[in-house]
Structure 1
Amino acid sequence: MPGAGERAFAYAKACGIMGKSFVGKRVSHLGNITRLSELDRLVFPDTSRDLPEKELLVDLEGRLIKRAADAIIAIVDSFRKPPELLSLLIRSYEYADLKTALNAVSGGEIPAEQAKPGFTDLGRFSTINFAAWPNIPAMIKGTEFEFLLNRQGEMDKEKPGISIQAELDRHYYESLWKSLKKLPAGDRRVSERILAEEISLRNAVWALRLRTYYRMQADEVRSHLIDINAAIQGKAVSLAADAFDSLDRVLDNRQAWKGWKRSEFLNPDMGEWKLDPRYFQNTASQYLYRLARRSFRSNPASLDTVFCFIKIKQFEEDILTSSAEGLGLGMASREIFGMLGVES
């Protein structure tokens, strides 16, 4: 485990980065922005780009993701031998990039004019050979993702199967949970609570999306969930339990959701109610962000602090990339924040 000196250095460095991040009160700095170029100058005052709006959107989104990933790597690099949990948290970018790659190559041959996706450079934390793009088998050879080679037929479909997307999520979160449990109890008290909530809520979001957008039946939805057993307050529970409990509730009657543990995250009944998975996802994301932010300084000597820092930076990244996408569509920042449920 990392020593006291490494932990203190990582915490001090994280506090310095947090002070310059667009979280908490500093979110208000984004509230009056009306153009992409303004967002670029605010976040990257020394390296903003003079590009047409359409080109700037793609370029800015890539830089925003790199900015978050670089900040996270800078903290984890404070440890000579980072715990597996922290390395896996960084590699969430690799999982996301692999999904992007699978989507890009779906349907067969890659058109010559199709640009290579902007994969995030994770340095020593990378395992996938993205230089081999678009050869997926070569990219994942010798990695933990080789199991996908047995699913080549499904990957070659017009859209990669939902089951592959779900399997990657399951593989990632099961690995995260196992690595978390390897840490001493004092290093994971907060992290365990937040990760359990994240997995539970991710299952709920996935269940609501599959039922709403793909019209899946309950039994089929169940097969796509991350069913991890966890000890919560001394009791063994499934982190898919809340999602399971949602499967038989109708999607167009708010009263049917009375008594559901996660009902507070549902969209309000404004007449002719229909469940909105995007609203649920946004409110759940806000909840997880608040948990991480409240806990960031609770125990500076523990690895919980680094875990919370990573979650906060990834939330900031989501807000900034969502703002960029909204501004690219002609929306004002306050309108974007309203949709995301973020107070500006």
Structure 2
Amino acid sequence: MKSSEQAYLELCTKILETGTKKEDRTGTGTYSIFGHQMRFNLQEGFPLLTTKKVPFRLVASELLWFIKGDTNIRYLLENNNNIWNEWAFEKWVVSEDYTGPDMTNFGLRSQQDAGFNQQYQEQMEIFKEKILNDDEFATKYGDLGAVYGKQWRDWKTSSGQSIDQLKQVIEAIQKNPDSRRHIVSAWNPEDVPNMALPPCHTLFQFYVEEGRLSCQLYQRSGDVFLGVPFNIASYALLTSLIAHECGLEPGEFILTLGDAHIYTNHVEQVKKQLARKLRPLPQLSINKNKKSIFDFELMDFDLQGYDPHPSIKAPIAV
């Protein structure tokens, strides 16, 4: 088995060398391959990249947001997490309530026009302030629809009932560890049209072997430079938390990607990262006094020995 980070870096190299140039919904363009799998041994260390700094606090607060079943970005903003802002912001700037400068195609324009970028940043700050301080505004424009947390914790059935998939899968792991049905799905075809962003990480499955809990995620679409490092760390953390609750050790995290792509405006950043040397993986420490994953807060996680290379900034494609 390759070291955790080496597997990721080899994926980056493969896409740069063999990826097909494709257009995409954002208008940015990508280099893409279809079908790729990486395996991460969680016994070797926590798989947070060392060739660039990945903010663990943002990974953890987003995962807690999912676990809570929340779909409103207010919780994220309260924890200084801005990774979902653009999708909520877009809903506001296309509405009749918005009266500021034209924000059409703000994702690309903010990268290409310094004057527009200043306007965009000003409007984003107004938006964030309203989300944090105006309950009615937050309800209307902060909610992203039936995204991950909703599907994990409150999947609606055709009869109007609710399924807490996450709670059920934990109970199933505890009662019947050898089952082949330890599955949580975020891909609900009925709800996809009402989501700000249809789930990229669509389905995950747990597997118990010799006292260890492993997880495999199928991800339909992976932004390899910005998104995939977060996804790896997030599901490694989720696996570790569920293993803790179930009295198991973390095993492997396996990531299976559908469309794995590098955006055309991330190529130079990827090359810079590939030129860096690997450093030792950090170790994850979890508050042992808490048992249920539904009780954890940010203060209950500690990442020890994380000494990465500096972060590498890149624009997000919306």
Larger proportion of strand: 2
TM-score by length of 1: 0.30
Larger proportion of helix: 1
